[in-house]
Structure 1
Amino acid sequence: MRSLERHRDVAAYALGVLTEAEAFRFEDHLMECPRCAAHVTEFGPVTRQLLLYRRSTPQFVHPMAKPGPQMLNRLLEAVAARHRALRRRTLYAVAASVVIALAGPAVALMGGGDEQAGQVVQATDARSGVWAQVTTENELYGSQVELKVKDGAGPRACHLIAIGRDGSEETVTSWHAADHDARENTMTGASAMHTDEIVRYEVRTASGEHLVTLKSQ
């Protein structure tokens, strides 16, 4: 397979439509191509939306069925709600900065918990030496996820897997660990499951090797 063809396989790999042999060859390519590794991460939101659609669509519905007006209305309502939430957070941040500027250090004594703050879990695996921290925040579609990871045993392609209480698994995000680089890396992703539906997260290599487990609170 030529290099150009490997670049073109990014979308097919992210969507999981490559054969096992093709996926294996592409993962070898990922270890040497930071550009493709970045593109795989960028395809994450599309993959998750398709997974969400598959889960919410009955099996008897034809794949080419067109969405009805109610589905469009629900999508518009979800987008509007997300925009309102973002605007509220922005206003809260501006108001907080004004209060701090006026009140000075005394404000620090009044610091309380942020109701929007997400759940944070972290762990280090004694065998692999990989450290990871996952921060999650519930959204209308599921949960938004931020991953911080330190992995000095690269280069290798890795995935963050969310495991539901029903045993289902979902790839939250993918990345490429650099060659023997133990610095902290940060990635973002999303899950169709809400926080209370996730029992744990696992960091695995593309070949399925387990690196670290983070148990949800």
Structure 2
Amino acid sequence: MRSLERHRDVAAYALGVLNEAEAFRFEDHLMECARCAAHVTEFGPVTRQLMLYRRSTPQFVHPMTKPGPQLLNRLLEAVANRHRALRRRTLYAVAASVVIALAGPAVAIMAGGEDKTVQIVEATDARSGVWAQVTSENEAYGSQVELKVKDGAGPRACHLIAIGRDGSEETVTSWSAAHHDARENTMMGASAMHSDEILRYEVRTADGDHLVTLPSR
């Protein structure tokens, strides 16, 4: 597969329509291409919206059926909520840093109003040495997720996986760890599950190797 073709496979990979061999080759490409890794992360919210549409659509409905007139309004509302969440995140981060310093490695912050729940968890794996922090906030469609991670063992493609209390798994965001760069990196993602439906988060390599687990509250 030529380099240009690999770049064009970002959307197909994010939407999960590549076959196993193609996905494997693209994940090799992700380890060397920061631009594609960033684009995969940007496709996260779109993927979650399509997943929600699939889950809420009965199987007997034709896949080319046009959505109702309220779908655009709901999508615009979800985008507006996301922007408001980003503006609030700086304030939450300052408060969280104080609470974390006093309370230990994993804390949860509950924010009232509009059924918004902000949860912050962090952990360091003794074996891999990877540190990660997940900040999640409930939204109408599920939860908005911010991941911070320090991983000096790259280059390698990685995923943040949300594991539901029902055993289901969902990829929240993907990225490519740089070559021996242990600086903190921040990625945004989204999940179709709300915070109380998530049992834990796991950071894994594209090959399935476990790097760190973050228990949810």
Q: Deviations over 1:149-177 (max 9, x none)?
A: 01111000001011111111111111110
Query: How far 1:7 moved relative to its partner?
Result: 1.0
- Give the alignment of 1:36-185 within 5 angstroms: 36-72=36-72, 74-75=74-75, 78-79=77-78, 82=81, 86=84, 115=112, 118-185=118-185
- Is 2:34 aligned against 1:34? yes
SS at match of 2:39: helix
Query: How far 1:39 moved relative to its partner?
Result: 1.2
The share of aligned pairs that are identical, in percent, is 82
* Cα root mean square deviation, aligned: 2.4
Q: Which amino acid aligns with 2:3?
A: S
Q: CA separation of 1:27/1:74 partners in 2, compared to 1, >3 Å: closer, same or farther?
A: closer
Query: How far 1:75 moved relative to its partner?
Result: 4.7
- Measured in 1, the distance between the counterparts of 2:175 and 2:156 equals 9
Give structure 2 stretches of 5+ with no counterpart: 92-109
Give structure 1 stretches of 5+ with no counterpart: 94-112
Match of residue 100 from structure 1: none
Query: How far 1:51 moved relative to its partner?
Result: 1.2
Q: Deviations over 1:126-163 (max 9, x none)?
A: 11111101111111111111111011110000010111
Instruction: Please tell me whether Structure 1 or Structure 2 has the larger radius of gyration of its CA atoms.
Output: 1
Match of residue 102 from structure 2: none
SS at match of 2:133: strand
Q: Which amino acid aligns with 1:86?
A: R
- Measured in 2, the distance between the counterparts of 1:86 and 1:159 equals 26
TM-score scaled by structure 1?
0.81
Q: Which amino acid aligns with 1:62?
A: H
Q: CA separation of 1:117/1:139 partners in 2, compared to 1, >3 Å: closer, same or farther?
A: closer
> How many equivalent pairs are there?
193
- Measured in 2, the distance between the counterparts of 1:136 and 1:74 equals 20
